[in-house]
């Protein structure tokens, strides 16, 4: 139950972040690869702060907080990948392939960020 509520919260925050990040990119007059890169990083940073805020609200600390934030970010990435696939109107094998690659890229990105 709690996981479902957390996923719903982070999903709604991800959608809000998407619009906010897109607006920021437009304000900066970014286009093409620069815009894509900016929006992707912006959304990732927003998801991280949303997960950290939720962990703080739950008064988690130490290993429990770390575990929660890691799972929250992973769930948020999965949701974002599925949303992006839907926005691109992908279906069948193309959708599955896109989501699998998107989630793999998100996990690699999270791992490299965690090692820094």
Residue 88 lies in a domain: yes
Q: Into how many domains does the chain fold?
A: 1
Nearest to 41 by CA among 75, 80, 67, 99: 80
**Does the residue 116 lie in any domain?**
no
3-state secondary structure of 60: coil
- In tens digits, the chain (116 residues) has pLDDT values of 454 444 444 444 444 556 788 899 999 999 999 988 888 888 878 877 888 899 999 999 999 999 999 898 888 888 888 888 999 999 999 999 999 999 888 777 766 666 65
Range of the domain at 79: 2-111
- Inter-residue contact 10 to 70 (CB < 8 Å): no
**Distance (Å, rounded) from C-alpha 97 to C-alpha 91?**
10
Distance of alpha carbon 83 from alpha carbon 72, whole angstroms: 16
């Amino acid at each position: 139950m709690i996981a479902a509520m957390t996923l719903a919260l982070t999903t709604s925050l991800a959608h809000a972040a998407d619009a906010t990040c897109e607006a920021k990119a437009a304000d900066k007059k970014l286009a093409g690869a620069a815009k894509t890169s900016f929006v992707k990083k912006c959304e990732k940073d927003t998801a991280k702060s949303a997960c950290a805020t939720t962990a703080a609200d739950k008064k988690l600390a130490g290993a429990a907080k770390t575990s929660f934030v890691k799972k929250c970010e992973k769930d948020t990435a999965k949701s974002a990948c599925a949303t992006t696939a839907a926005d691109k109107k992908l279906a069948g094998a193309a959708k599955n392939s896109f989501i699998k690659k998107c989630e793999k890229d998100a996990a690699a990105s999270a791992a490299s960020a965690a090692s820094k």
